[in-house]
Structure 1
Amino acid sequence: MNIFPAQYSTLSSKALNVKLRESYGLNSTTCRLLIRNVSDTYVIENATEKYIFKIYRDAHRKLEEIKGEVELLTILFERGAKVSRPIPDIDGEMLQVFNAAEGIRYGVLFSWAQGGVVSALSEQHLEAVGKEMAAIHNLTSSIELSHQRKEYSIYTALIDPIKVIEPAFAGLENEYEYLRNTAVDVIAEYNKFGVGFSYGYCHFDFLPKNFHFTDAGEITFFDFDFAGKGLLAYDITSFFIHYFMEVTYGKITEQQGRDAFKTFIANYRKVRPLSDEEINAIPYLGFGFWVFYLGFQYENFDDWSNLFFGPRFLKDRVALIKKWMETAHLLLP
């Protein structure tokens, strides 16, 4: 009997454990699925070692882009950045190939980011985040990868996603009209951006969920799945969004959010320049950030199984974006 066509399979943890033991020379490991999401993420570990193994979806990342992520992280690690690094197998290969039900899928083994997520960041944490992200930007602004990664232009981050999500707003025409009209204003502001903006490879999802701290305060950045060429201020913006959310949901006060972000900026500037123009652009870049991920969620609904994506979510998200456009500037230092 022929195998019926599939669009998104989940590889067996048990079989994967056997394969990775052979490929990487590992002993006595266990393997478990951690997240079935943008990519499938597995934890591989034994008594002394622990790794992350990520399997990409072809619909989300083509081979060229996967090679670009591996190349970027290898360069960053070799030049001293504190990142989770890709690990070659015993034959020196970075990518593992799987003939899955839906076709070829590729996987990469990454070093484990020691520690855990810290949402309530202390001054010491903020010092490390600011300095180390600036150090990464010093590297990513001065390299050119041999493999292509996504480019975050005004088109890919805003204009195209606005068009893509329109069908999702059937019955929510007022909400979509707000997004479309606001996009016109944001594009006008974007076109005023001058030479004070740094450009390079940005993480584009620089939130606390994507870096770990050890008890000793050591930081490791990971999940560069969305990394691509664009304004480095997008990373500053996504970190700022963390504090906007913390204030919006009443976890901290407005003053606490402003002070924390100010500390982050001060430490970033100890390592790398950051213009006032870039900081003042955060409300507009943030609008693009929100819209870009709405586009991603809509286009990947089937494969991602993001059941939250529906009319209620969209209505609530537009309300949040309205609040962002009205109040984000109040949290800027």
Structure 2
Amino acid sequence: MALFPVTHSILSQRALAAEVLPHYFGGSPSECRLLVRGMNDTYLVHSEGTRYILRAYRHGHRSLQDIRHELDLLQYLHSRSIGVAAPLTRLDGQYATEIQAPEGTRYAALFAYAPGHMLPLSPETAGRYGQAAARLHAIMNTFVSKHRRYQIDLKHLLDDRVPWILPLLEHRPEDQLFVNRVWRFLREHLDSIAPHLRWGMCHGDLNGGNCHTDNEGNLTFFDFDCEGPGWPAYDAAVFNWSVRDMSDRHYARQLWQAYLDAYQHVLPLSEMELASIPYFVAARQLWLVGLHCQHADEWSYGNLSEAYFDRRLRILHELVHEHDWKL
């Protein structure tokens, strides 16, 4: 009898310890525990007193070319003394391990554990984060890989995402029309200014997380799963997007200004790039909602409640109001 189709499996931590980790550690005893279940699944690994992170990429989420590009980028940044959680090679010199899961082929990669703890946000730490993000962008500009990677362009941010949202708003026709209009508005305006924006490598998720700080204040970036060629202005806008949901709006503005001032001290943004920030914040919001809707069959439609759409669409309404966008 054929196995019943699976959308997304959770790989056994015991099997990973027994069958995958020996490719990296040989016969050394290793412990593997599921840490985070998300777009990809993250496991905390202990081997000979040292912590590592094992990522099991979701089937169909990233191609092997995409994954190899990400691992190349991390190796490059590590070689340039940028604080990143670098990938580790297997004993045979390879970085990725192929796994035949019930839903199809998946890949796993092992990374160094980022030292320290999550960065607590304050104007001071937001400034350090902005400075580090600008340095990251500057170094990534010189990176070249033989492996292909998808682009963080308007197709990726908008056209591939919004069509997943609209059917789930059929019971909210005014919101459905609003989202469709915002999509068209952003498409038109970002298309017109895109030729005037710098293009380069982006982390893709510089939201204030995906970064640890140690006791000396050194920052280590991790989770480059969203990396790719794109607009650095978009990457900077992601931090603005991340603090917009804070209840204390005045404090959120302080954090953003501290981030922006520090970023510009290292890598100044042009007037056109600064003007693009609100558009990219809105595009980021549509990208995230579209991603959630696209993967609802894996993460559950129950998460897409009325409260969820109220909260997510509120930010778009606020942006339209603040900037007097004529939809």
Superposition TM-score, scaled by structure 2 size: 0.91
Q: Which residue of 2 aligns with 1:167?
A: 167
Q: Does residue 18 of structure 2 align to residue 40 of structure 1?
A: no
User: Contact 1:205/1:235 (CA < 8 Å) preserved in 2?
Assistant: yes
Q: Which residue of 2 aligns with 1:301?
A: 296
- Which sections of structure 2, spanning at least 5 residues, go unmatched? none
Q: Does residue 239 of structure 2 align to residue 239 of structure 1?
A: yes
User: Contact 2:76/2:143 (CA < 8 Å) preserved in 1?
Assistant: no
Structure 1 residues 9, 243: closer, same or farther in 2, change over 3 A?
closer
Structure 1 residues 228, 21: closer, same or farther in 2, change over 3 A?
closer
Q: Distance in 2 between matches of 1:189 and 1:72?
A: 31
Q: Which residue of 1 aligns with 2:316?
A: 321
CA displacement at 1:44 relative to structure 2: 0.2
Structure 1 residues 315, 5: closer, same or farther in 2, change over 3 A?
same
Q: Which residue of 1 aligns with 2:61?
A: 60
CA displacement at 1:306 relative to structure 2: 6.5
Q: Distance in 2 between matches of 1:21 and 1:152?
A: 32
Q: How many residues align?
A: 323
Alignment of 1:82-231 (within 5 A): 82-123=83-124, 125-193=125-193, 196-231=196-231
Single out whichever of 186-195 and 146-155 deviates more from structure 2.
186-195
1:291 aligned to which of 286, 301, 308: 286
User: Contact 1:165/1:298 (CA < 8 Å) preserved in 2?
Assistant: yes
CA displacement at 1:24 relative to structure 2: 1.3
SS at match of 1:98: strand
Q: Distance in 2 between matches of 1:21 and 1:155?
A: 37
Structure 1 residues 184, 102: closer, same or farther in 2, change over 3 A?
closer
1:264-307 CA distance string (max 9 Å, x none) = 22222232221232122111111111111222111111233474
Q: Distance in 2 between matches of 1:166 and 1:196?
A: 31
Q: Distance in 1 between matches of 2:5 and 2:290?
A: 26
Q: Distance in 1 between matches of 2:301 and 2:35?
A: 16
1:72-97 CA distance string (max 9 Å, x none) = 21112112221111110111110111
1:134-159 CA distance string (max 9 Å, x none) = 11111222333322222122222123
Amino acid aligned to 2:77: L
User: Contact 1:73/1:86 (CA < 8 Å) preserved in 2?
Assistant: yes
SS at match of 1:41: strand
CA displacement at 1:47 relative to structure 2: 5.7
1:192-243 CA distance string (max 9 Å, x none) = 3166522112122111221111222111111111112111111111111222
User: Contact 1:82/1:132 (CA < 8 Å) preserved in 2?
Assistant: no
- Which sections of structure 1, spanning at least 5 residues, go unmatched? none
2:273 aligned to which of 272, 278, 284: 278
Superposition TM-score, scaled by structure 1 size: 0.89
Q: Distance in 2 between matches of 1:47 and 1:122?
A: 38
Amino acid aligned to 1:210: N
Identical positions, percent: 27
SS at match of 2:77: helix
SS at match of 2:117: coil
User: Contact 2:44/2:51 (CA < 8 Å) preserved in 1?
Assistant: yes
